[in-house]
Amino acid sequence: MTFLSLALAMLLAVKANEVIQGARTYKTMLMWAYAIAPPVAGLMGNLMFNPLIGDLYYFLNAMGWDFNHKLDSFDAGFVVVLIAVWKQVSVNFIFFLSGLQGIPKSVIEAATIDCKSNLRRFWTMTFPLLAPTTFFLVVINITYAFFETFGIIDTTTGGAPGGSTNTLVYKVFTDGFRGNDLGGSSAQSVVLMLMVLALTVVQFRLIERKVHY
Closest CA to 92 of 44, 29, 30: 30
Of residues 112 and 44, more confidently modeled: 44
Tens digit of each residue's pLDDT (9 = 90 or more) over 156-166: 999 988 888 98
In angstroms, the Cα distances linking 148 to 32, 39, 54, 84, 165 are 18, 10, 24, 9, 14
pLDDT of residue 148: 84
Gap between the Cα atoms of 126 and 56, Å rounded: 35
pLDDT of residue 145: 87
Kindly give, in sequence order, each residue whose CB lies less than 8 Å from that of residue 25, ignoring residues fewer than 6 positions away.
none
Gap between the Cα atoms of 195 and 211, Å rounded: 23
Q: What SS3 state is found at 32?
A: helix
Alpha-helix residue ranges (DSSP H) falling in the chain: 2-18, 23-31, 38-48, 55-62, 73-101, 105-114, 118-121, 127-129, 131-147, 149-156, 168-173, 182-202
Q: What DSSP string describes 1-26? A: -HHHHHHHHHHHHHHHHH--TTHHHH
Gap between the Cα atoms of 115 and 10, Å rounded: 21
Reported as a pLDDT band with limits 50, 70 and 90, residue 20 is low
What is the pTM assigned to this prediction?
A: 0.87
Reported as a pLDDT band with limits 50, 70 and 90, residue 34 is confident
Tens digit of each residue's pLDDT (9 = 90 or more) over 87-105: 899 889 888 988 998 888 8
DSSP state of 204: I
CB 46 within 8 A of CB 156: yes
CB 108 within 8 A of CB 99: no
